[in-house]
Amino acid sequence: MKKHIVIVGGGFAGINLIKSLVNDDRFIITLVDKNNYHFFPPLIYQVATSFIEASNISYPFRKLFSNYKNVRFYMGSLIRVIPEKKTIETENGEIQYDELVLALGTESNFFGMENVQKCALPMKTIDEALYVRNYMLLTMEEAARNDKVKESQKLQNIVIAGGGPTGVELAGMIAEMGQYIAAKEYPEINRSFMHIYLIDALPALLSPMSKMAQKAAYTKLEKLGVKIILNVAVKDYIDSKVILADGKSIETETLIWTSGVIGREVKGLPQESIGKGRRILVDAYNKVQGIDHVYALGDICLQMTEEKYPNGHPQLAQVAIQQGRNLGKNLKRIEDEKVLTPFMYNDKGTMAIISKFNAVVDIPGFSFKGFTAWLTWLFIHIIPLVGFRNKLRLALDWLRLFITNNPSIRLILRPKKNNV
């Protein structure tokens, strides 16, 4: 009998697990995902800023699996896990499994702030990135029509909450596009009213990275005109005002939220299997604690068995990729009745782009910045993309856009079904 592996979530962890088991006749694999495509989250901010097309960092699952004999795709959202029946319930029906792998990733964490959750712009998915793109373009058009100073300033102010890699990369991209594009394409706008605020509750930008990276990011963004506010948290967002913990406020119609994540909720798991940040507790082999035949991978799992990472691994793409590959090997070892291999994270470093031709890179024992770091960032972010066509298109688009400083995809698209 072939073993049915059901994987929920087609991100880095899920895709790399599938690649480890592909065309192995002992397994039938079903990938369940609410979207019909895999996408590359580290570049989502470039979609949100109209720099690249969403299709450059996305690839359809069915196209990806077309040559895999033992892989099927099932489109639907997970509703709950039913461990006693070895079944999952989705919005489109139930699926039975022999082994279940949860790799759903995370979602934006608003820390219980209802107004922020309701009105801020998160940026974790392609849908959210496209919404941010449309929203900012529409806001710029409104600012171009508005001749009232106070209203125009509120429309042009952009507040980014969260000073991690996404917040830093987003602030740098928006600041540079404002310099290169706004002056030419929006002559009606008084650019002296436009301010970009980057806010973080911690004392430094890029807090997990080296002091060199933190200083480089702060210095470059400051030169680009970004107003950086540290050691202060966002507490509320009321009547187009971002309320800060120190009592100050910033008037803006645009609050972009990159300030933390929380694991996606998985109903049906026992409470003792859920840890801090709604992450699923797993053992050294990524098996969910307290449940048989259920595993969790990537950002959604909390694995505290490795001595070097007693509080769990960082929620990075490399962790998800390596966990997916390791679980694939272990599932084969189970079939071969061999000893399983515990997961050991190989830290390959972290990086962030700050501005055009300028990035910071931390690798174990060494850090560097500037143009060489930017080239490294470029190279590393093309390699994991699925599909040769995507890599070629993205490389050519990047080359053209960085030379011309003029992306031409600033289209306001609002698809809807016309009433007949």
- The ranges of the chain with pLDDT < 50 are 420
**Rounded CA gap, 402 and 63, in Å?**
30
Residue 90's pLDDT is what?
97
pLDDT tens, 164-219?
999 999 999 999 888 877 778 888 888 778 899 999 999 999 998 999 999 999 99
Of 262, 263, 316, 283, nearest to 103 by C-alpha is 263
pLDDT tens, 271-299?
999 999 999 999 999 999 999 999 999 99
Amino acid at 249: S
Residue 189's pLDDT is what?
84
Q: Do the beta carbons of residue 19 and residue 140 sit within 8 Å?
A: no
Residue 340's pLDDT is what?
97
Give me Rg for the CA atoms of the chain. Answer: 22
3-class secondary-structure state, position 281 = strand
**Rounded CA gap, 63 and 65, in Å?**
5
CATH 3.50.50.60 in the chain, residue ranges: 3-108+261-336
Residue 419's pLDDT is what?
53
Residue 405's pLDDT is what?
65
Q: Which helix (H) or strand (E) holds 217?
A: helix 211-223
**Rounded CA gap, 318 and 350, in Å?**
9
Tell me: domain 114-259, CATH 3.50.50.100, correct?
yes
CATH 3.50.50.100 in the chain, residue ranges: 114-259
Amino acid at 125: T
Give the other-Cβ count within 10 Å of 326's Cβ.
23
3-class secondary-structure state, position 105 = coil
Residue 315's pLDDT is what?
94
Q: What is the third-level CATH fold of 3-108+261-336?
A: FAD/NAD(P)-binding domain (3.50.50)
Residue 178's pLDDT is what?
81
**Rounded CA gap, 26 and 4, in Å?**
9
**Rounded CA gap, 383 and 348, in Å?**
14
Of 9, 12, 2, 72, nearest to 40 by C-alpha is 12
Residue 374's pLDDT is what?
83
Residue 420's pLDDT is what?
46
Amino acid at 132: V
Residue 387's pLDDT is what?
62
Query: Is this prediction's pTM over 0.85?
Result: yes
The DSSP annotation for 144-190 comes to HH---HHHHHHHH-EEEE--SHHHHHHHHHHHHHIIIIIHHH-TTS-
